[in-house]
């Protein structure tokens, strides 16, 4: 059984209440057509032109449109397009085939056949793509399906075309198809299928805006996708939406939200069995490190099975180096794993942020025992230039993570170990001032009321004299 016969058998699940006759003459005619079909099929490889004539003979000899005429037209379309390279003739044959989809064959089989033909016309068989011919194939398909009122297959065909334009970067053509899809979705009365289809459209739009770097529109569509409730989408669709959402949050340096979306994306891709789960797992690991979290992303049940995957092993080692704050080990891992880490443009664009975060942590640990350090010494330890070290130190001082100052004449970092004590003194003085004000208010209130209510407030005034005396 070849692929065409297999498709037919798989596509015959629906019961269309066809009436079958036991008439011997009809049975004999069916057997004759079947023999002609398989005889024509045997000529495909050696004499395609003869096979084409034989397939046409099957179509003409069939008195009423039926399965053998449909199969013959399907084979003829394939021969004309892929073997004889006559796309216009293939389009004419395909247009004739579409007239058989109403009653000659089951809906499942016709859908499988149409999808197969559109796949190889769209370059799925490795053929060069003629955009004009492709659009004409899809146009006659849409016209036939609209005439047959097959809204489900019409929407699926448009989604297929939209995905093709997206993969080829034809964003102008893609926007036109997306508008048609939105219109069809709005006209649909089935709320559940409407929501599911809407999520598929949003997934395509999000990918388009991500590719064109239109992050404002991407965020708008992403938020709209989160509002869809009545839908049962394929996990792959949710994986796409959450992956692009994670990339959007990464662009805004919202590492925690990016990490959450990448995890959801990975979970959905994993459920769908999509190979994209490996790539998204790398993004999840990257976002998790940028959050500064001490939690290892491979500790969860979902990610643990992939910890020793060859494509993930480098990221696993990077996480270990990051958590140990071993900046030199991290740099070595990045250098030795260009193919699995640095060759991804998205990951590569955030490696600078990752290394800066790691170097900052390493720098804090490095300067802790000292009171004075040369910037050149710190630069050698971090394997960066002096200006970059100075910039990192300025940020740490401004953020209050390092207590000290930079001597730009001597190019030294001078740490003030007494500063913490002074800071605590100022905090104690602030508390003392607040306590005095509280006592003053209580006394004033007591004097004005003439009662004992103020005494309670006076008794509750904070006693900080002891703590202030500790710093005297």
Choice among 24-28, 81-85, 383-387 with the minimum mean pLDDT:
24-28
Band of residue 306 on the pLDDT scale cut at 50, 70, 90: confident
Q: What is the mean pLDDT of the chain?
A: 81
Choice among 130-144, 290-304, 413-427 with the minimum mean pLDDT:
413-427
pLDDT at 392 over 80: yes
Choice among 5-19, 239-253, 337-351, 454-468 with the minimum mean pLDDT:
5-19
pLDDT at 257 over 90: yes
Band of residue 15 on the pLDDT scale cut at 50, 70, 90: very low
* Rounded Cα gap, residues 31 and 8, in angstroms: 17
Average pLDDT over residues 416-441: 74
* Rounded Cα gap, residues 241 and 414, in angstroms: 49
More confident residue, 419 or 90: 90
Q: Which two tokens stand for residue 334?
A: 């990045």
Range 182-189, long-range pairs (CB < 8 A, 24+ positions):
184/151, 184/154, 184/155, 184/158, 185/155, 188/151
Report the pLDDT value the prediction gives residue 131, as an integer from 0 to 100: 77
306 CB neighbour count, 10 Å cutoff: 18
Average pLDDT over residues 376-395: 84
Give the alpha-carbon dihedral of 309, 312, 318, 320, to 10 degrees: -40
Band of residue 29 on the pLDDT scale cut at 50, 70, 90: low
Report the pLDDT value the prediction gives residue 192, as an integer from 0 to 100: 66
273 CB neighbour count, 10 Å cutoff: 9
User: SS3 letters for 288-315?
Assistant: HHHCCCCCCHHHCCCCHHHCCCCCCHHH
Band of residue 244 on the pLDDT scale cut at 50, 70, 90: very high
Band of residue 418 on the pLDDT scale cut at 50, 70, 90: low
- Answer yes or no: are the C-beta atoms of 318 and 334 closer than 8 Å: yes
249 CB neighbour count, 10 Å cutoff: 20
Q: Which two tokens stand for residue 437?
A: 């004000």
* Rounded Cα gap, residues 406 and 386, in angstroms: 12
Contacts of 363 (CB under 8 A, 6+ apart): 378, 382, 389, 392, 393, 396
pLDDT at 455 over 70: no
> pTM to 2 decimals?
0.69
Q: Residue 317 class from Cβ within 10 Å (0-12 exposed, 13-18 middle, 19+ buried)?
A: middle
79 DSSP 8-state letter: I
pLDDT at 238 over 70: yes
Band of residue 450 on the pLDDT scale cut at 50, 70, 90: low
> Tokens 């925690």 identify what position?
256
pLDDT at 91 over 60: yes
Q: How far is CA 212 from CA 181, 207, 218, in A?
A: 20, 9, 10
* Rounded Cα gap, residues 300 and 311, in angstroms: 18
pLDDT at 286 over 80: yes
Q: Are strands 372-374 and 412-415 parallel, antiparallel or unpaired?
A: antiparallel
Report the pLDDT value the prediction gives residue 126, as an integer from 0 to 100: 53
Report the pLDDT value the prediction gives residue 128, as an integer from 0 to 100: 60
Report the pLDDT value the prediction gives residue 462, as an integer from 0 to 100: 52
Stated length of the chain:
472
pLDDT at 208 over 90: yes
Contacts of 188 (CB under 8 A, 6+ apart): 151, 194, 197
pLDDT digits (tens, 9 = 90+) for 158-201: 888 888 888 888 898 899 889 988 888 887 766 667 888 889 99
- List, in sequence order, every beta strand (DSSP E) within 140-231: none
pLDDT at 17 over 80: no
- Answer yes or no: are the C-beta atoms of 71 and 36 closer than 8 Å: no
- List, in sequence order, every beta strand (DSSP E) within 239-382: 372-374
Q: Which two tokens stand for residue 62?
A: 């069939």
Report the pLDDT value the prediction gives residue 14, as an integer from 0 to 100: 43
Report the pLDDT value the prediction gives residue 417, as an integer from 0 to 100: 60
């Amino acid at each position: 059984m070849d692929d065409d016969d297999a498709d037919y058998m798989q596509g015959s699940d629906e019961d269309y209440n066809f009436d079958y006759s036991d008439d011997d003459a009809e049975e004999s005619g069916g057997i004759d057509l079947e023999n002609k079909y398989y005889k024509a099929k045997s000529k495909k490889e050696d004499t395609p032109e003869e096979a084409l004539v034989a397939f046409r003979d099957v179509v003409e000899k069939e008195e009423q449109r039926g399965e053998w005429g449909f199969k013959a037209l399907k084979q003829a379309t394939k021969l004309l397009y892929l073997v004889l390279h006559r796309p216009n003739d293939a389009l004419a044959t395909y247009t004739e085939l579409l007239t058989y989809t109403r009653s000659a064959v089951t809906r499942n089989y016709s859908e499988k056949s149409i999808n197969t033909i559109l796949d190889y016309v769209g370059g799925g068989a490795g053929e060069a793509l003629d955009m004009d011919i492709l659009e004409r194939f899809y146009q006659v398909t849409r016209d036939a399906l609209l005439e047959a009122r097959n809204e489900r297959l019409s929407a699926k065909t448009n989604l297929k075309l939209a995905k093709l334009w997206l993969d080829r970067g034809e964003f102008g053509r893609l926007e036109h198809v997306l508008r048609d899809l939105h219109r069809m979705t709005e006209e649909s009365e089935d709320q559940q299928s409407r929501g599911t289809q809407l999520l598929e459209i949003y997934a395509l739009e999000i990918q388009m805006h991500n590719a064109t770097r239109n992050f404002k529109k991407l965020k708008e569509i992403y938020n709209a996708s989160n509002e869809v409730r009545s839908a049962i989408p394929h996990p792959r669709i949710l994986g796409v939406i959450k992956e692009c959402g994670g990339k959007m949050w990464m662009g805004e340096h919202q590492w925690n939200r990016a990490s959450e979306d990448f995890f959801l994306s990975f979970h959905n891709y994993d459920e769908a069995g999509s190979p994209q789960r490996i790539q998204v797992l790398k993004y999840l690991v990257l976002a998790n490190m940028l959050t500064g979290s001490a939690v290892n992303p491979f500790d969860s049940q979902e990610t643990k099975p992939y910890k020793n995957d060859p494509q993930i092993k480098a990221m696993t080692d990077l996480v270990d180096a990051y958590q140990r704050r071993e900046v030199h080990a991290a740099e070595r891992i990045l250098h030795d794993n260009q193919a699995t880490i640095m060759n991804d443009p998205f990951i590569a664009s955030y490696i600078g942020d990752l290394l800066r975060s790691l170097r900052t942590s390493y720098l804090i640990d490095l300067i802790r025992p000292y009171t004075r350090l040369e910037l050149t010494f710190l630069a050698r330890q971090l394997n960066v230039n002096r200006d970059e070290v100075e910039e990192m130190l300025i940020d740490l001082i401004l953020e209050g993570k390092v207590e000290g100052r930079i001597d730009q004449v001597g190019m030294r970092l001078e740490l003030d170990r007494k500063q913490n004590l002074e800071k605590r003194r100022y905090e104690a003085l602030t508390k003392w001032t607040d306590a005095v004000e509280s006592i003053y208010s209580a006394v004033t209130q007591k004097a004005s009321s003439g009662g004992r209510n103020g005494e309670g407030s006076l008794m509750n005034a904070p006693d900080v004299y002891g703590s202030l005396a500790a710093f005297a």
